[in-house]
Amino acid sequence: MKLPFRRPAPSALPLPDRPAQMGLLVQQADGLRDAGRPAEAANAYRAALVLDGSQQGLRVQLGNMLKDSGQFAAAEQAYL
């Protein structure tokens, strides 16, 4: 007998620790940048910006990594 799926109440779901996630993503992105892997670093910076899009410094880093990986139009959008 298959039991029906019951979604947990919203209050029972753990809230993501956004500052900790941001820190890990930025640390990962910085490491990839320093290792000369700009396309992968751009993905990590982009993921961090999903959590907090107001971080202008991350937008600049994203733009730099996109530029370094040859994605000039995307880099321009990140800078704007």
Mean pLDDT of the chain: 86
Any domain includes 62: yes
Residues 6+ apart with CB under 8 A from 21: 51
- Return the closest-CA partner of residue 26 out of 13, 14, 43, 5: 43
Q: Is residue 30 exposed (0-12), middle (13-18) or buried (19+ Cβ within 10 Å)?
A: middle
| Single-letter amino acid, residue 26 | V
33-50 per-position pLDDT tens digit: 999 999 999 999 999 999
Give mean pLDDT, residues 9-29: 77
Residue 10, domain member (yes or no)? no
Residue 1 has pLDDT above 60, yes or no: no
Range of the domain at 51: 18-79
Task: Please give the average per-residue pLDDT across 17-26, as a whole number.
Answer: 89
Q: Are 42 and 65 in contact (CB under 8 A)?
A: yes
CATH code for the domain in which residue 63 is found: 1.25.40.10
Number of domains making up the chain? 1
Confidence of residue 27 (pLDDT cuts 50, 70, 90): very high
